[in-house]
């Protein structure tokens, strides 16, 4: 493929907690291959092209990764974000930042989760099955904090930031961060949104 053809292909920033997997590179390569099968370029921010020196302080090493991710988001035309709950009831905070960054940059975000349970159900489970009824008809957790009553799969600031409805898929727990069924559906949403 020529450089001109490559330059004309849509670049998709692949946001998600997969970068923490032991086989992160393989999962990223699989996502990039799926992007290519749709005619897109997947930008997977696993490792900076210019890694920090081995003796760099931890903050310096982290800052290099941050700048690399921001540079890739700036190069991207849009993003697909994996909002599967990560280490708790909600999405990975780094991925949430990336969604906000892309939206603030005026770029479309498509997103998915591989957990079918709605946010309220996940909060209820985390609270040991107990939520208290609130005077407004909603629910409060054991700390007295309101639980969003919108029937969404994720916090409204993420669920409503997407260019198409959040794709919800139930993946087996062992494959939660590797199952690409919902990711493929996001690619189909992108293709439909572009009229391709």
Mean pLDDT per 10-residue run, the chain (196 residues)?
A: 56 97 96 97 84 87 92 97 97 98 98 96 90 86 90 96 97 96 98 89
- 161 vs 43: CA distance, rounded Å: 20
Give the global pTM.
0.92
User: What are 132-136's contacts with CB under 8 Å, separation 24+?
Assistant: none
Instruction: Output the pLDDT for position 1.
Output: 37
List of E strands, the chain? 11-15, 41-43, 78-82, 108-113, 132-133, 139-140, 146-147, 167-168
* Tokens 């292909």 belong to residue: 9
Report which of 69, 67, 66, 91 is spatially closest to residue 79, judged by C-alpha positions.
69
How much is the pLDDT for 45? Answer: 84
* Distance in angstroms (rounded) separating the CA atoms of residues 36 and 53: 32
CATH number of 3-115+162-194: 3.40.50.450
Cβ atoms of 155 and 119 closer than 8 Å? yes
Q: What is the structure's pLDDT at 38?
A: 97
| Domain boundaries of the chain, sorted by first residue | 3-115+162-194, 117-152
């Amino acid at each position: 493929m020529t450089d001109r053809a490559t330059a004309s292909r849509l670049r998709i920033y692949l946001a998600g907690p997969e970068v923490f997997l032991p086989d992160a590179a393989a999962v990223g390569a699989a996502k990039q291959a799926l992007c290519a099968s749709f005619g897109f370029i997947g930008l997977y921010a696993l490792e900076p092209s210019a890694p920090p020196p081995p003796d760099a302080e931890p903050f310096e090493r982290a800052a290099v990764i941050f700048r690399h991710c921001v540079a890739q988001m700036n190069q991207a035309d849009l993003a697909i974000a994996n909002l599967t709950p990560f280490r708790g009831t909600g999405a990975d905070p780094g991925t949430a930042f990336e969604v906000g960054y892309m939206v603030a940059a005026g770029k479309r975000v498509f997103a998915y989760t591989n957990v079918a349970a709605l946010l309220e159900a996940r909060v209820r489970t985390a609270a040991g099955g107990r939520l208290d009824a609130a005077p407004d008809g909603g629910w409060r957790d054991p700390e007295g904090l309101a639980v969003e009553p919108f029937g969404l799969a994720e916090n409204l600031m993420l669920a409503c930031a997407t260019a198409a409805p959040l794709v919800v898929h139930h993946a087996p727990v062992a494959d939660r961060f590797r199952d690409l069924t919902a990711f493929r559906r996001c690619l189909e949403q992108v293709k439909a949104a572009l009229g391709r």
